[in-house]
Structure 1
Amino acid sequence: MQKLQKILELCKLNGFFKAINLSHVKEKCPNYFHFGPAGELLVQNIQREWIFSNVTAREPSSIFQHYSPGTVDNVLRLKDAYLSSKSLTNGHLPFGLVEVRGDKNLNKSDNESNNFDFLPAICHQLLYYAFISPQEGPQFFYRWQQHRQMWWRKFSMDPGRFSLTETKNDKEGKVEIKAKFPWGLITIESIRNHSTEFFSALPSTDVIDFEVMDGRKKCLPYVIESYSTVEAAAFTFLCDGFLESETLDIPKQQFRLHRKLAPFKISFVASPTTSQSFEELLDLATYLSQELRRFGIITLIPQMKQSLDSQLTRCDSLAVPYTIILNPSTLVTGLAALRSQQTSLQEEVHISNIVNYVEQLMKNY
């Protein structure tokens, strides 16, 4: 738990999040996470990658985003979105619905088997429903488990920490994705196999509305649901990417995040120099930063008057994947050093090529 405390302190120091508990009684889990500037960018990146993975680049090809107020486990709240999606696919399977919204975490019961539970009671849900042909449903359920596990592993510094666990004694088929940490297991996503029973308990007048065409026959769809939260993802990836080391007997703590999730993609630092050269380097950093932001690459210019080591340490603690190091010779030769946080290696890049080069780096997974 000492390591967890260090992670929470570093999260708070760098503006990722702090856990808020509104109760006067000390409880095991907080009420909510208050995300700071870095945390808000992390949340946006998680949502963007989740939507890209589950909507833009996945089967079934027709998946629609929606927002339906009401209790998550109330099936009828999906009716309007379901009927709209059904009309867009001419009443034929397959199609799906996804939802990204703030709500109370009604999935807390899924975490009862955890050795550790720090996820907040109020969260932003990531909810997915696939409506599949009954013949294809069982195989899709298996493929979807693998897809979701691979999504978590893709962005992790330690992919082996994620595992699939089948929940026993459940009326529906349910699989949980768990992340293993020194303090215990965390259930980060639940995948339910509702089969064709998802709508069957509704009144017959409502059931008719949820019938779809499977070939030439009318039927109720086979339903697969997966549920996670932004808070679970942010907390998991920050814990996963926490590193602690010593340099010259000085402890160093940092976060490493996949470049697609990192709040700031590029930071600028400068070697100590004269006042005149420093102002010129600061102007150059500002110009390059603006050019990168034009292409949607979020940048950071920290306090450049500190020592170079202090500047780099600050960038590492913020999980900035790449840092551009400027020095007085840059003003003469046009060459800057591009440092990778993950490898600590540097390569020379001409300032005229930085924007294109960084853009290519960010495109790759």
Structure 2
Amino acid sequence: MFLKIIDLAINHGFLKRDILSKLNFEQYKYGPVGLHLLNNLETEWFFHFVINRDITVFLNKDDFTSTFAFSKKMCCDRLPLGIVEKKSREKIDHDLMQDKKSSENGDSIQFCTKFSEDETEFLKGTFFISPTQSTKFFHQFQRQRRIWWRRISASPGRYLLTDIKTCENGSQNVEIRARYPWGDQQIEKLVFNCGVNDLELDDSQLQFKEGRKTVQPHTVSSTINLPTMFLNFLCDGFDEPLFQGKPRTMLRFHRKLAPYMVSFVISGTNAASVSELSDLALYLSRQLRTHHISSLLLPSASKLGLETQYKQYDELGVPYTAVLNDNTLKDGILQLRSRDTTLKEQVHVTNLITYVEKLYKNY
């Protein structure tokens, strides 16, 4: 099944083969549509880690020490605070790279080995927490992270937390894993450090005020291999439900992740109506994009058959397809087809933008 998903992803521009890979197994790079999906994934991660948190979170690039000093000053030497960053393979924690290398030695399919090291980046969030609150925060953070994966998943039940492992240095590790027929995949690693300074910061820098006392914070961190997250949601969204007795292949992306939110199909009976409907589709597509709703309007929208286009858009993971026909020119009503149910509902062209915005506003 994994190779079937990979072939589908390559055919539709999510992936492309890495022809320069020197390993004895196939590796991949992001395709043009895949980069769109990747951007949506990073955006959802950013909103969860930076925007939708009670803790003040700062962004870092290349210089963690200076970012930490600035963050500490901004927070008046008070806890808690957080720092998030995107890190390259050279700068990521050694144990994460060891996890990757150990996976390469096995025969099972592991997402973290499917992209070359040049393509591999990591998303990391580090939170500095008061020692009196750190254990509670760590357990809450585990639940929050698992909920995040489940909330934007097509199959929420596949995500699980491993048991806590205590390392020799006293830190505690927990993994979030996704279950697949070919084996479980580690998709996120959570680490709780109780007073262990592994951040290349001096102890003098790690002094915070707590009432009249001075304390050294505990840290809770999350690390995600970005290609692993990308491949996970490709495989998570793959589905083949029966439709009219035959499997219907689709990528059941969450609405927030889909590279294209709305596609267009034009069904006119003559050249004149096709021309008018094409102009209307172009206008609606522009309006959607103006409202930050990505749309897909292809030249084939008026040339290929309906079922052929539905198949293409389902395999691209487009949640909704707007079907414009001759009646649309008469009464202004189009049909909005759902990828997941194949059902169509009638929407007036003047209400399309507002209606689609409501669909995408909520999870």
**TM-score normalised to structure 2 length:** 0.90
Contact 1:156 1:258 in 2 (8 A): yes
Distance 1:318 1:219 in 2: 52
Superposed CA deviations along residues 302-348 of structure 1, whole A, max 9, x for unmatched, are: 31110010111111011001111110110111000011111211110
Distance 1:169 1:185 in 2: 21
Contact 1:267 1:315 in 2 (8 A): yes
Root mean square deviation, CA, Å: 2.1
Structure with higher helix content: 2
Shift of 1:37: 2.1
Shift of 1:217: 1.6
Gaps of 5+ in 2: none
Contact 2:122 2:225 in 1 (8 A): yes
Shift of 1:148: 0.6
- Verify: 1:319 aligned to 2:317, yes or no: yes
Distance 2:180 2:53 in 1: 30
Quick one: which of 133, 152, 155 aligns to 1:155? 152
Quick one: which of 92, 99, 103 aligns to 2:85? 99
Superposed CA deviations along residues 102-124 of structure 1, whole A, max 9, x for unmatched, are: 43565243354785313233422
Distance 1:198 1:311 in 2: 56
Contact 1:83 1:210 in 2 (8 A): no
Matched residue, 1:267:
263
Contact 2:165 2:174 in 1 (8 A): no
Contact 1:268 1:285 in 2 (8 A): yes
Matched residue, 2:161:
164
Matched residue, 1:358:
356
Shift of 1:246: 5.6
Residue 154 to residue 99, structure 1, CA distance change in 2 (3 Å): same
Give the AA of the match of 1:155. I
Quick one: which of 283, 289, 295 aligns to 1:293? 289
> Number of matched residues?
348
Contact 1:94 1:132 in 2 (8 A): yes
Residue 323 to residue 182, structure 1, CA distance change in 2 (3 Å): same
The equivalences for 1:142-221 within 5 A come to 142-166=139-163, 168=165, 170-171=167-168, 172-198=171-197, 206-221=202-217
Shift of 1:213: 1.3
Shift of 1:52: 0.6
Shift of 1:285: 0.5
Residue 347 to residue 178, structure 1, CA distance change in 2 (3 Å): same
Contact 2:237 2:253 in 1 (8 A): yes
Distance 1:340 1:252 in 2: 14
* Moved >6 Å (runs of 4+): none
Residue 277 to residue 101, structure 1, CA distance change in 2 (3 Å): farther
Distance 1:348 1:249 in 2: 26
Contact 2:161 2:174 in 1 (8 A): yes
- Verify: 1:5 aligned to 2:16, yes or no: no
Give the AA of the match of 1:41. H
Shift of 1:82: 0.5
Quick one: which of 57, 66, 75 aligns to 1:80? 66
Matched residue, 2:61:
67
Distance 1:80 1:173 in 2: 27
**TM-score normalised to structure 1 length:** 0.90
Contact 2:111 2:227 in 1 (8 A): no
Q: Helix, strand or coil: the match of 2:162? A: strand
Matched residue, 1:277:
273
Matched-pair identity in %: 36
Contact 1:132 1:222 in 2 (8 A): yes
